[in-house]
Amino acid sequence: MLGQIWNIVLYQPLLNILAFFVSIIPGGDVGIAVIIVTILVKAALFPLSQRSIESQAKMNLLNPELKKIKNSGASKEEQAKQTFELYKKYKTNPFSGCLLVLIQIPIIFALYYVFIRGLSFNPANLYSFVHAPATSNMNFLGVLNIAKNHIWILAILAGVSQFFQAFYMPKPALSNTDKESFQDSFSKSMNMQMRYVFPLIVAFIGYSVSGAVALYWITSNVFAIGQQIYAKKKKNLLVIQK
């Protein structure tokens, strides 16, 4: 049952989208098809990811108000109520980033599954309106065989792009007091790990899995970097206009 749901919801749609683009791309370059599919996925998730970025920025601005609620001496129930009302007033969701990650993880696994099974555009797995490509070229730009793993150049690019993606993320707001709180220490630690440790993990994963998945990760990160730069410029423009 779960296998059928996986095939219907993720595997088959992804395989068919790849088949469509491979069939219309000159030379049937599968790597270019992966890039196009990644951009389409990121474009579809753009409203959600944009809200996530804006929510992170708002959380930084709301940090002083959240500290006031915490230090107000009210009961836990009252603090939770006031916190919820504050989030509702400023239309922010502290868990939006987690939701975005949870949505993307199955897509990454589905792409990995497509290639680990051996990319085969079997008509039995294609929709009636999608034709099997006449040719499919796994050598991205005629250089890298993305069906294989251990492609170090893609692994490095995945790690570097992840570093810059973390670099442009909104920075956590810290207390204005001289004494560093546990929350401040935790936020700083998480920020440091996301910037310096997680890119190494991404590079290792990118080296271990197929080049197609690493290429998806690179394209996704580059898209996210552009989106974060756009969101930052938009925020600065609004500040200037005010």
| pLDDT, tens digit (0-9, with 9 covering 90-100), for 181-191 | 545 565 566 66
Average pLDDT over residues 78-107: 71
Instruction: State the Cα torsion 186-190-191-197 to the nearest 10°.
Output: 150
Q: What is the DSSP string of 135-155?
A: --B-EETTTEETTSB--HHHH
- pTM for the model stands at 0.75
Q: Where are the domains of the chain?
A: 2-241
Number of residues assigned to the chain: 242
| pLDDT, tens digit (0-9, with 9 covering 90-100), for 106-141 | 877 887 788 777 677 888 888 888 888 888 899 998
